[in-house]
Amino acid sequence: MTVLEAKNLSYEYSVGTPFQVTAIKNINLTVEKGEMLAIIGHTGSGKSTLIQHFNALFQPTEGQIFLNGKDINESKESAHAARFKVGLCFQYPEYQLFESTVYKDIAFGPSNMGLSDAEIDARVRRAAAFTGIRDDMLEKSPFDLSGGEKRRVAIAGVMAMEPEVLIMDEPAAGLDPRGRKTILELIKNYRETTGSTVIIVSHSMEDVASVADRIVVLNKGTVALSGSVDEVFSHADELVEMGLNIPQITKIFAELKKSGYDLNTSVYTSEQAKNEILRYLQKGGNA
Ligand SMILES: Nc1ncnc2c1ncn2[C@@H]1O[C@H](COP(=O)(O)OP(=O)(O)O)[C@@H](O)[C@H]1O
Ligand SMILES: [Mg+2]
């Protein structure tokens, strides 16, 4: 079942000025209920512009956004409702923390939803658990936490709104490999536990390969590729041309294929690489 849909969506910044830019052009895509969709693309490809349409922060220059089949920009009420149904976590969300305690920061979103104090408290605690924020951290100032912890608090704030669709813009950006892994795992865990629809935006194929069900690749404001992780990875050369980093192992398989080895090139983990080499050798390929 489709939960979100972009139909012929275009957006231009600074219309009618010398700085007019077409950021996205004629985008069509659907998001299915319960899936983890990755939107990837090089810097400037239009990812952030696109996702800010999904909760009505941006109004399309052309086209429409449908949430559960209804145009979200149909009325003020539907646009307002979309803000809560579609939770958007911006890039570097830790810069938006401002409350005196971690608890209050996580509670900020749900406090604006007209919920009871008990319900807000339950949501804060659930979101804290998802993001690995321990109870003793809730009464601390967010400014006393490490960078990775602040990021998790900010993510918890959006999760606490319990949106139907959670969108994360570059959730792992700027973190070290361990921090990146932690964030990606908690998103995966949140999605598996709640069954929510999740959209993860990234410029890193490597980051999304392990968590996404499906990938949409943006290039210069349009959809260049879309499909399962395997399908998209089988276009390694095109991905590199679009300025995307592909895992080292995928590069090696693409080169081997070019040199005449009949290998499946949609390989992005060492386990897959091992299996593909064994398969190749077993069917009598050249070692
Ligand atoms: N506030 C803005 N004003 C004018 N142009 C912008 C603004 N934000 C983004 N753009 C332009 O829109 C295009 C898409 O940007 P963006 O959606 O931020 O891409 P991404 O998130 O993939 O890096 C780029 O050409 C960018 O320069
Ligand atoms: Mg961006």
Mean pLDDT to the nearest integer, 13-28: 96
Neighbours of ion ligand 2 (CB under 5 A): 47-48
Name the fold adopted by 2-246: Rossmann fold (3.40.50)
- The residue nearest atom 26 of ligand 1, judged by CA position, is 44
* Ligand 1, atom nearest to 45 Cα: 22
Give the Å distance between the CA of 201 and the centre of ligand 1: 14
Ligand 2 mean position, distance from CA 169 (Å): 7
The residue whose CA is least distant from atom 3 of ligand 1 is 13
Q: How far is CA 278 from CA 128, 188, 266, 281, 287, in A?
A: 44, 30, 15, 5, 10
Going by pLDDT thresholds of 50, 70 and 90, the confidence category of residue 270 is confident
The whole-chain average pLDDT of the chain stands at 94
Q: Give the residue-averaged pLDDT of 116-144.
A: 96
Residue 274: pLDDT over 70: yes
Nearest to 180 by CA among 167, 192, 171: 171
Residue 99: C-alpha distances to residues 137, 147, 153, 196 (Å): 14, 16, 11, 27
Please give the model's pTM, rounded to 2 decimal places: 0.93
Which residue's alpha carbon is at the smallest distance from atom 10 of ligand 1?
A: 23
Ligand 2 centroid–CA 44 distance in Å is 7
Report the nearest atom of ligand 1 relative to the CA of 43. Answer: 23
Closest of 244, 213, 215, 210 to residue 227, by C-alpha: 215
Q: What band does 149 get if pLDDT is binned at 50, 70 and 90?
A: very high
Nearest to 41 by CA among 27, 56, 60: 27
Q: Of 90, 102, 92, whose CA–CA distance to 143 is shortest? A: 102
Between 6-20, 193-207, 254-268, the lowest mean confidence (pLDDT) is in: 254-268
pLDDT at 284 over 90: no
d(CA 241, CA 238): 5
pLDDT at 285 over 80: no
Give the whole-number percent of the chain exceeding pLDDT 90.
84
- Asked if residues 226 and 236 have their Cβ atoms less than 8 Å apart, the reply is no
Mean pLDDT of 266-286: 87
CA-nearest of 243, 219, 208, 201 to 48 is 201
Ligand nearest to the CA of 13: 1
> Using 50, 70 and 90 to split pLDDT, how confident is the model at 245?
confident
pLDDT computed for residue 280 by the predictor: 92
**Residue-range domain boundaries for the chain:** 2-246
Q: Which ligand is nearest to the CA of 169?
A: 2
What is the CA(134)–ligand 2 centre distance, in A?
30
How confident is residue 152, by pLDDT bands cut at 50, 70 and 90? Answer: very high
Give the pLDDT score at 265: 84
Tell me what pLDDT residue 286 has: 59
For residue 56, pLDDT beyond 60? yes
Task: Name the residue with the closest Cα to ligand 1, atom 27.
Answer: 44
Average pLDDT over residues 275-284: 90
Atom of ligand 1 nearest to the CA of 49: 17
Look at residue 287 and tell me whether its pLDDT is greater than 60: no
**Residues enclosing ligand 1, CB less than 6 A?**
13-14, 21, 23, 41, 43-49
Confidence at residue 246, expressed as pLDDT on a 0 to 100 scale = 85
Both structure tokens of 202: 């990234």
Question: To test ligand 1's pocket by mutation, which of 21, 42, 52, 217 has the most ligand atoms within 8 angstroms of CB?
Answer: 21
pLDDT band per the 50, 70, 90 thresholds, residue 254? confident
Confidence band for 210, pLDDT divided at 50, 70 and 90 = confident
Residue 43 CA, ligand 2 centroid: distance in Å: 7
pLDDT score at 49: 98
